[in-house]
């Protein structure tokens, strides 16, 4: 169970947890669930088990590729 950050209402946070693999973070990826396993390769870098079926349906790429596409050096996530 993840702690709820101070700047989110519990209900708001629950919605984000249902929708985002990294709620409150920068990732747009969906969380892995029994119905939506993270077992698909990234279409950009080809690394296995990076995307869920929903991610693929949205045309998402993995977090590393998304960061690179936004011009961020790997490993630096915060501005
Ligand atoms: Zn990738």
Q: What is the pLDDT of residues 3-51, one digit of tens each?
A: 788 889 999 999 999 999 998 888 999 999 999 999 999 999 999 999 9
Distance between Cα 47 and ligand 1 center (Å) = 6
Note the pLDDT of residue 11: 94
Note the pLDDT of residue 5: 87
Place of tokens 């080809």: 46
pLDDT surpasses 50 at 79? no
DSSP string, 9-50: -HHHHHHHHHH-SSTTSS--PPPP-SSS-EEE--TTT--TT-
Distance between Cα 51 and ligand 1 center (Å) = 9
Distance between Cα 65 and ligand 1 center (Å) = 4
Distance between Cα 49 and ligand 1 center (Å) = 10
pLDDT surpasses 90 at 73? no
């Amino acid at each position: 169970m993840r702690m709820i950050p101070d700047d989110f209402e519990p209900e708001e946070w629950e919605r984000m947890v249902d929708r985002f693999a990294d709620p409150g973070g920068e990732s747009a990826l969906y969380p892995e669930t029994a119905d939506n396993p993270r077992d698909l390769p990234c279409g950009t870098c080809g690394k296995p088990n990076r995307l869920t079926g929903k991610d693929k349906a949205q045309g998402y790429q993995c977090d590393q590729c998304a960061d690179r596409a936004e011009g961020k050096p790997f490993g630096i996530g915060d501005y």
